[in-house]
Chains A and B, each alone.
Chain A
Amino acid sequence: MLSLAPEKPKAAAASHPPVERETLLIEVEGVRKAFPGVVALDDVSFRLRAGTVHALMGENGAGKSTLMKILAGVYIPDKGVYRLHGRDIALTSPLDALENGIAMIHQELNLMPFMSIAENIWIRREPLNRFGLIDHARMYQMTRELFAQLSIDLDPEAKVASLSISSRQMVEIARAVSYNSDVLIMDEPTSALTEHEVAHLFRIVRMLREQGKGIIYITHKMNELFEIADEVSVFRDGHFIGCKRVEQLSHDEVIRMMVGREITEMFPKTIVPIGEVALEVEHLTLDGVFHDVSFSVRQGEILGVAGLIGSGRSNVAETLFGVSPASSGQIRINGQAVSVDSPRTAMQHGMAFLTEDRKDTGCFLNLSIQENMQISVLGGDNLKAGFVRQQALDSMCAAMSGTLRVKTPNLDERIENLSGGNQQKVLIGRWLLTNPKILILDEPTRGIDVGAKAEIHKLICKLAGQGVAVIMISSELPEVLGMSDRIMVMHEGRVTGIVDRADATQVSIMTLAAG
């Protein structure tokens, strides 16, 4: 693999494309932000022009989220100039930013689940009737008009709790638009969306761009960058690396700017001998969720699972692992029919399950890395008269985090202080310690940076090489196509096809996924 020495971060201002002053919405220069013990941003500059989509890219910890939070008034910079419409400004809070025409759409949704869509959108700005009470009819009407403008098809009176994640995302976007802001900040808005919904989102983004708004778009996904962005600013280790027009850039150049080295091989797929059938599933059904799912995985095989959000892919994984036991159907492991009624029994049958949501069902955020990693192996030889053999576990976990290259000074650190990629490695380590024969991975590389992603891909291939049967669910088609031996595609709770690696293309998979 070719690798260049990491380039030195360059001086900032020099590399902005020339621009007419009056089209500048936001201009930031020499911004610095330090947290106790770490400089998150140093001497960073950034310009947002009206009527453009400006992507921010960089690995996790590069500083793009910090910059975004400064722009949105969440953080107050230690140093530097922030000009909005050419005037110096010092934002004190997100509300302050909103009132200055800067709206942010959070990666994690901030909606009140038991209030209606309309109430969520117009909160703090509810239309009042002549008695000073909230005029619900008008509020719903305003919402319908807003939705018509954005071609969103949702009932303004519905409770947010009843909506899917992607619909909630649409409500967030509508709310941001409703403020008539000049600047919209979107933090990985597509991470919970299906391809279809992404297309819808992009239509909205383009429409807003036509209206002369500036859109700051944070993403990890390269194809989105080329599809939607006009300009891109790249950050690395808290420094501004450069800003370019997208059409002047290639895929590889962006990655090179982000990591300071070439990544020539995106997917390190190695062909390994495929062994016996490890897991066989027949007519597996969870009433109301998925139906008649049948497939098998062999030792050393990677079975990719593709499908849009809501297709039931994650539910199948949860059922296999006993999180929500099946209503009917059969699971056979090494030819033997087994009943999996809890994660515990699944583990006894040699399964391991890396869940989709690191924070909700993976990490014990306020416990240490050590405690997080060892939790599933507190039994057998690691237990002596009820007491945990901590020394043995310490060295096991130290060895594991060495193998997985978890970046941390020591394992007593709280897991919440790690980046997403490192948290993911710790969770993978947790499962590898159980010595699984069948490994179920749900979105193993979601929301983690390019470098860590490649390492995890390599690891998955290595495990397959050791004879582990791998089931890998992913929303990223390149990942599914690049890693899998076979790909199972689901649509609305049913399997619509199982495709061999050789026959699989983006188009064939998407066709099956769309039903």
Chain B
Amino acid sequence: MSISNTQPLDKAAKSGAFGFKLPAEARIFMVLLGVALIFELLGWLFVGQSFIANKERLIVMVLQVSVIGIIAVGVTQIIIMGGIDLSSGSVVALTAMVSASLAQTSDFARAVFPALTDLPVLAPLAAGLLVGLVCGLINGTVIAKTAIPPFIATLGVMVTARGMAKWYTKGEPISMLSDNYAAIGAGINPVIIFLVTALVFHIILSYTRYGKYTYAIGANRAAARVAGINVNRHLILVYTVAGLLSGLAGVVTSARAVSGQAGMGMMYELDAIAAAVIGGTSLNGGLGKITGTVIGTLILGTMTSGFTFLRIDAYYQEIVKGIIIVVAVVADQYRQRNRRS
């Protein structure tokens, strides 16, 4: 039955009169506060100290999810557009390997490219971003030009990129990186990179045509095409942007670890999807905000820190994380249904 038949024109107006509606991000922020407060309470009960009033812990809390956050900024855009990206974690690994291999110092005898040592830091950075960009471009092009679902296309890139990361050095880790390169991931730099990325894309999604088209394609792809949007070109663009951000995450990861390893970024794609979904991005497309994703990322970070703080096994953390993801999606479905009936 059509919705329009059952509802008088001004239903929305009347429901608005019952009180102001909280924006979705405010609700997610409350969840973040709630999670933090639970740990605060448990902290005083079992550990005898405050969870929140500890500057170092707060920094670590954000630091450990910054890379996930950078990826999630890209993944959020893809999900808003009605897609999915499973390749981010593997792209992190491949990028980390490639950029680390160009960041080695000459006083290391077994460099990957002995002729290419002591390069200016711009070289590994650019190479890393390029690798990410190309991976994203492949994702987008395959999805746009063939009709295969994004799930499959990005699954292919996920497996392939991981394989290439291992093949690159036959599984050997890459070490002895330059100080300049390591500085990218030092201190709170990852946090700054994450927040700046988030801010930039928040602005882009809210105020540019790129953003409007992303939401429109996610809300109704066929209608977007008829409305004159070059849907295929935009799909490729958004997947490429997300790939670029995964590349950035790979650079940050290897810089922070001062090495490149083929096992880096394992399962990051799922954490990033989780951050977006917990942050209110709908897997049906057309809905979601970068601000929500930032808060979703922080919720993941708070949980990790909280469990460590309470000295609870990491296993439990994963169990709880899994439950929270499902609850977030159920809550999303519930909200959608409520809007309809």
Enumerate chain A interface residues (CB-CB to B < 8 A): 35-38, 40, 60-61, 64-66, 69, 106-108, 187, 237-238, 321, 323, 342-344, 346-347, 353, 355, 359-367, 371, 374-376, 378-379, 383, 386-388, 390, 407-409, 413-414, 416-423, 430, 434, 447
Q: How distant is A47 from chain B, measured CB to nearest CB, in Å?
A: 22
A38 and B225 contact, CB distance less than 8 A: no
Q: For residue A416, which residues in chain B have a CB less than 8 angstroms away from its CB? A: 3, 339-340
Of chain B, the residue at the smallest CB distance from A417 is B12
A-B contact pairs, 5 of them (CB 8 A): A38-B10, A61-B6, A61-B7, A108-B1, A364-B215
B2 and A420 contact, CB distance less than 8 A: yes
Q: How distant is A147 from chain B, measured CB to nearest CB, in Å?
A: 26
Complex-state Cα separation, A347 to B230, whole angstroms: 12
A364 and B286 contact, CB distance less than 8 A: yes
Q: Which 6 residue pairs across A and B have the least CB separation, nearest first?
A: A37-B14, A364-B219, A37-B15, A420-B4, A409-B13, A65-B5
Q: Point out the residue from B9, B14, B210 that lies within 8 Å of A422, measured CB to CB.
A: B9
B8 adjacent to chain A (CB < 8 Å): yes
B228 adjacent to chain A (CB < 8 Å): yes
Complex-state Cα separation, A346 to B212, whole angstroms: 21
Q: Point out the residue from A60, A364, A388, A418 that lies within 8 Å of B208, measured CB to CB.
A: A388
Q: Point out the residue from B6, B10, B15, B227 that lies within 8 Å of A65, measured CB to CB.
A: B6
Enumerate chain B interface residues (CB-CB to A < 8 A): 1-18, 207-210, 212-213, 215-216, 219-220, 222-230, 282, 286-287, 339-341
Q: How distant is B23 from chain A, measured CB to nearest CB, in Å?
A: 12
Q: What total of A-B pairs shows CB separation below 8 Å? A: 158
B17 and A419 contact, CB distance less than 8 A: no
Q: How distant is B211 from chain A, measured CB to nearest CB, in Å?
A: 8
Q: For residue B16, which residues in chain A have a CB less than 8 angstroms away from its CB? A: 37, 409
Q: For residue A367, which residues in chain B have a CB less than 8 angstroms away from its CB? A: 215-216, 219, 286
* Given A367-B215, A387-B207, A413-B12: A66 in contact with B222 (beta carbons within 8 A): no
Q: How distant is A356 from chain B, measured CB to nearest CB, in Å?
A: 11
* Given A360-B222, A388-B208: A35 in contact with B7 (beta carbons within 8 A): yes
B219 and A353 contact, CB distance less than 8 A: no
Complex-state Cα separation, A212 to B3, whole angstroms: 32
Q: Point out the residue from B212, B223, B226 that lies within 8 Å of A378, measured CB to CB.
A: B212
A417 and B7 contact, CB distance less than 8 A: yes
A419 and B220 contact, CB distance less than 8 A: no
A65 and B1 contact, CB distance less than 8 A: yes
Complex-state Cα separation, A407 to B12, whole angstroms: 11
* Given A386-B208, A387-B208: A371 in contact with B4 (beta carbons within 8 A): no
Complex-state Cα separation, A420 to B13, whole angstroms: 17
* Given A69-B6, A367-B216, A420-B4: A360 in contact with B223 (beta carbons within 8 A): yes
B12 and A414 contact, CB distance less than 8 A: yes
A447 and B2 contact, CB distance less than 8 A: yes
Of chain B, the residue at the smallest CB distance from A353 is B226
B9 and A418 contact, CB distance less than 8 A: yes
B215 and A371 contact, CB distance less than 8 A: yes
Q: For residue A413, which residues in chain B have a CB less than 8 angstroms away from its CB? A: 12-13
Complex-state Cα separation, A423 to B11, whole angstroms: 14
B9 and A61 contact, CB distance less than 8 A: yes
Q: Point out the residue from A347, A388, A430 that lies within 8 Å of B212, measured CB to CB.
A: A388
Q: Point out the residue from A346, A374, A407 that lies within 8 Å of B9, measured CB to CB.
A: A407
Q: For residue A414, which residues in chain B have a CB less than 8 angstroms away from its CB? A: 12, 339
Q: For residue B18, which residues in chain A have a CB less than 8 angstroms away from its CB? A: 36-37
Of chain A, the residue at the smallest CB distance from B230 is A344
What would 9 more interface pairs be, CB under 8 Å, given A419-B4, A419-B9? A61-B7, A344-B228, A344-B229, A364-B216, A371-B216, A379-B209, A408-B10, A408-B13, A421-B4
